[in-house]
Amino acid sequence: MAKLSPRQMKLLGQRFLAALGISAIPIGIMAPLSPSWWDGKWWLVLFVGVVAAGWACLGMRHREPRQTYRENVTIRLVVGDLFDQGESVVVGMTTTFDTSVPDVIEPNSVQGSFLRSVYGGSQHRLDHDLDHALTSVAAVGTITKAGKQTVYPVGTVATLSPPGPIRYYCAAYTTMDRQNRATGTIRGVLDSLDGSWDQADAHGNGAPICVPLIGQGQSRIPELTPEIAVRLIAFSFLLRTKRSRFSKELRIVIHPDEQHKINLPEFQAFLTSLVTS
């Protein structure tokens, strides 16, 4: 059994106490009416406790949030492998579009997984596709550092189309300093998401689009917590959909190691609240 987070433990306790409270209502009514009925029925207390615990655990079952909107689009949160979804993917990158693993990019990052899963570890092929996708984008400067030195605007999206129907929207939302330390802002995340939606509108043919828990890890955006990130991604997608329907489904994909960071019932409630937005 997976270890529960402190927040999940608190929720489990709240559900257990609520179940006990509900069970106490008929007991409180019956006790004055027939005091002797409870004699020798000590097992009833155990039974009520077991039922309350079972109800509390039942409510903690893994249920992935999902909501469909009147724009005929669906937003889902799934736990799994981002590159095993069979759909187009947004991959967060820096404005220099560095690809060197592990010298510049962390092997365990989304971009490191992208290099392994999609390009078979070939940095040369990935660089070739990125250079081709960026030919029409004007650089905004250069930076002296190890790795790539050409700097593109925040929000730039390089759309890659390796063999097959799946497209990869490489979105630049962080900047590198001279020591190859990435930093970003919420504004940069929003700009890169907007750029990704535009590219999906131009190239995606309405297909689902998958987005990881963007803005975490090495991107150094401390104010962008996982809970805020999933809401930001969902709201950005739905807001863009109101202008034009570019994808039938947003799939926010959370790595199994990170699922404890998201309160799934709370996120479902958030998605539901957007129905009337």
Q: State the DSSP string of 245-267.
A: --BSEEEEEE-GGGGGGS-HHHH
- Read off the pLDDT of residues 7-17 as tens digits, 9 standing for 90 and up: 556 656 766 67
**Most confidently modeled of 54-58, 77-81, 218-222?**
77-81
With 70 as the cut, is the pLDDT of residue 228 above it? yes
More confident: 145 or 276:
145
Distance, CA of 65 to CA of 265 (rounded, Å): 7
User: For 29-52, what is the mean pLDDT?
Assistant: 61
Tokens describing residue 94: 């820096």
Q: Cis link prior to 6 (omega < 30° from 0)?
A: no
With 90 as the cut, is the pLDDT of residue 165 above it? no
Place 1 in a pLDDT band, splitting at 50, 70 and 90. Answer: very low
Structure-token match 């996982």, residue found: 226
User: For 260-274, what is the mean pLDDT?
Assistant: 92
The answer regarding whether domain 66-276 maps to CATH 3.40.220.10 reads: yes
Q: What percent of the chain has pLDDT over 90?
A: 68
- Indicate the residue type of 208: P
Which phi and psi (to 5°) does residue 46 adopt? -65, -40
- pLDDT for res 208: 97
Altogether, the residues listed in the chain come to a count of: 277
- Indicate the residue type of 141: G
Distance, CA of 202 to CA of 196 (rounded, Å): 10
Give the gyration radius of the chain's Cα atoms. 24
Averaged pLDDT of the chain: 87
pTM of the predicted model as reported, rounded to 2 decimal places: 0.80
- pLDDT for res 217: 73
Tokens describing residue 58: 């039942």
Domain ranges in the chain are: 6-58, 66-276
Tokens describing residue 44: 């009833």
More confident: 218 or 3:
218
Least confident piece of the model among 1-5, 12-16, 72-76, 230-234: 1-5
Place 18 in a pLDDT band, splitting at 50, 70 and 90. Answer: low
Q: What does each C-alpha distance from 248 to 112, 186, 208 come to in angstroms?
A: 28, 25, 6
Distance, CA of 39 to CA of 190 (rounded, Å): 65
